[in-house]
Amino acid sequence: MKNLLDNISNPKDLRKLNPTQLPQLAKELRAFIINVIATKEGHLGASLGVIELTIAIHYLFDTPNDLLVWDVGHQAYGHKILTGRKAIFHTNRQFGGIAGFPSRKESAFDAFGVGHSSTSISAALGMAIASNLKGQTEKQHIAVIGDASIASGMAFEALNHAGVSKANLLIILNDNAIGIDPSVGALKEYLTRVKTDRKLAAQNNIIKALSFDYSGPIDGHNLPKVLAELERLKSVKGPKFLHVITTKGKGLQKAEEDQVTYHAPGKFDKVSGVRIKKIASLYTKYQDVFGKTMVELATQNNKIIGITPAMLTGSSLKFMFEKFPKRTFDVGIAEQHAVSLAAGMATQGFIPFCNIYSTFLQRAYDQVIHDVALQNLPVIFCLDRAGLVGEDGATHHGVFDLAYLRAIPNLIVFAPSNEVELRNILYTAQLGLKNPIAIRYPRGTGSIIDWQKPFEIIEIGKGLQLKTGTKIAILSIGTIAKNVTDAFELTDNSTEIAHFDMRFVKPLDERLLHAVFKNHKTIFTIEDGTIKGGFGAAILEFASKNEYKNKIQVLGIPDNFIEHGSVLELQRKIGLDAKSIAKKIMK
């Protein structure tokens, strides 16, 4: 049989097909994604689940004139392939290649950039209202959102507005009962009942109550049904809502059976779906250091609470959940709620560890300030995925946390340089701190094999001298200290270079800094956070306040968004790898 996908490079080619040919195209598109991701890696299950829906939308709607917004973007691989990026799809998430998420600068078909969840309805509604203001009343606006994302507060806010608008907006709920981990919450339970209770769907319907034209639920893998319903909805005016039931990982048995693992499975056999085992690392992932240490601490201290917004597996809080399910809370994709929930628990004498990815905490900034720091509540923020995270790119690099956190009064900010320091600060934090603390650590593995040592208390605000030297002082924060240590082996005059691990961005170890400034002519600061307002800026402020005239050079993330690629590739590009650091020191 002739391969249909070979002759499709954009939606105009797709629309030349007969509707009866579309199931065959769906089969080919799934196979294409599986073949590429099996060797190149990436997000798999979400895109496999929406193949029929993707084809139907581009077949019936006049994209890119009609505006299509995906939520998060994990589910947009089929969309990318059908919109001019098939030939370069193998570069997905690779350095210099296409992004893993929709990006406005990449294609006119990517109407909105999406890396964080629950933005699609707001964005599409904004586009629809703008079209009304311009008199473009026939223009279509489609938002595709998952059941995990629609439970977020931002999505609820958008639904509340859209229901009373006159906007020509179609919201498609891709209901597969799972985000990265299984979906949670009352809305998830309601959607589960709607799937089996047609009477509930038709009468007592939450979405209808918000003044939407609701239809469904329908089988999202039945192309004729999806096509028929989308065709009908094209002529319905005002806000519309289509409830579609799909299976994450559809078409690859292993991905259907283990939807959590196959969200992003790494390399696998494209026929059997069996994952290809990587050579086991001798080192432990920082997330697992956190997760396993939490179990130890929670065993000793029954006041400890674990909280995460939909990242039980990603944060490794799953270990605590398995042992202490009543003290571990997955609140869904609701970062603001997670922070204020932790604040409420802290008022009652509990010790909440709120684990949120660095870039996701950006979404709860007001809660950190207003609900936690202003009231000086001892919430312990554990910021996973800090610094450069690699192939997920600009939407996920945790490079702003040092800058946005150090401006907040009462908040302690700590960055461990290795696994032992992470372990010890977690121990220290639950001993009765009087202030909130943010602990930020990177994605990936550390550098110490035997990290499960007896706990030691870390003195708040105290840095460490790692190496002596006479002329140059390097002040580092966090795990970038390893690059500095490696750089010494590449320099000719390492005996002249001192190295200090400051550990705390706030409070700074001013006693140590006075000694550094008095004994070293030149000072480098190195961080894997943004130069603007970050750790280096804090050192410059200290020097200005104390009228030091030393030469200071600040190294870190430049003032632009960093694209995707491996962490080492990105560090080389911006001059934070060991070799680049050595060159700057030598110069």
Q: Catalytic residue positions? A: 248, 335, 363
Q: Measure the CA–CA gap between 438 and 413, rounded to whole angstroms.
A: 5
Q: Are 267 and 39 in contact (CB under 8 A)?
A: yes
Residue from 78, 83, 50, 49 nearest 66 by CA? 83
Phi, psi for residue 174 in degrees, rounded to 5: -85, 95
In the 8-state DSSP scheme, what is residue 274?
A: P
User: Which tokens is 327 given?
Assistant: 């003290």
Q: Measure the CA–CA gap between 58 and 587, rounded to whole angstroms.
A: 55
Residue from 303, 436, 326 nearest 381 by CA? 436
Q: Measure the CA–CA gap between 213 and 104, rounded to whole angstroms.
A: 30
Q: Measure the CA–CA gap between 66 and 95, rounded to whole angstroms.
A: 31
* Cross-sheet strand order for the sheet of 497-501: 464-467, 497-501, 472-476, 522-530, 551-557
Packed helices 120-133 and 153-162: angle between N→C axes, nearest 10 degrees: 30
Helix (H) or strand (E) holding 76: none
Residue from 334, 304, 336, 341 nearest 320 by CA? 304
Phi, psi for residue 352 in degrees, rounded to 5: -85, 125
User: Which tokens is 423 given?
Assistant: 């372990």
What end-to-end distance do the CA atoms of the chain give, in Å?
A: 64
Beta-strand relationship, 304-308 and 240-245: unpaired
How distant, in Å, are the alpha carbons of 277, 300, 466, 480, 520 from that of 485? 31, 36, 9, 9, 18
